[in-house]
């Protein structure tokens, strides 16, 4: 069984919205680590604009609670350095994260609004990727 098979098997569990107190912890973790993780993942996740738009959607107070819960769960998984495939493994480190993020994005994409994409483009315009590995 590959790491991606494990992610597929656990996807429902990973993307289950947490209780409100746990969501607050997830949001704090995401706010603290997202930009650094995004910077490291820029070369590895081809749909990074969608990921950053999802981040802005998750932090938007107007976002429906269920959507916020799914996105925070996926983003919390993304910022964890040690998950099913640890992020530091060259070439593979962000594959499980990308699978989780894509599934979350597809599940809630109708709630990600144009202003979230505008903020995503602004955020990405300010970030330089790290030097090539």
19-77: pLDDT as tens digits: 888 999 999 999 999 998 898 888 778 899 999 999 999 999 999 999 999 999 999 98
Residue 128 has which token pair? 């330089």
DSSP string, the chain: --HHHHHHHHHHHHTSPPPHHHHHHHHHHHHHHHHHHHHHHTTT-TTHHHHHHHHHHHH-TTS-HHHHHHHHHHHHHHH-SSSSS-TTSTTTTTHHHHHHHHHHHHHHGGG--HHHHHHHHHHHHH-PPPPP-
Check if the beta carbon of residue 74 is closer than 8 Å to that of residue 112.
no
90-114: pLDDT as tens digits: 444 567 778 888 899 999 999 999 9
pLDDT of res. 60:
97
CA 76 to chain centre: 7
**Does pLDDT of 7 surpass 60?**
no
**Minimal CA–CA distance to 93: which of 56, 30, 44?**
44
């Amino acid at each position: 069984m590959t790491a991606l098979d494990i992610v597929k098997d656990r996807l429902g569990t990973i993307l289950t919205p947490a209780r409100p107190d746990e969501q607050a912890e997830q949001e704090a973790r995401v706010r603290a680590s997202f930009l650094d993780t995004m910077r490291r993942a820029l070369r590895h996740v081809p749909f990074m604009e969608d990921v950053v738009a999802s981040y802005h959607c998750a932090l938007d107070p107007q976002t429906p609670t269920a959507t916020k819960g799914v996105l925070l769960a996926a983003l919390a998984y993304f910022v964890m350095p040690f998950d099913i495939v640890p992020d530091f493994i060259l070439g593979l480190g962000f594959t499980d994260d990308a699978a989780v993020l894509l599934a979350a994005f597809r599940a809630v994409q109708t709630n990600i609004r144009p202003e979230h994409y505008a903020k995503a483009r602004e955020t990405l315009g300010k970030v330089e990727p790290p030097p090539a590995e």
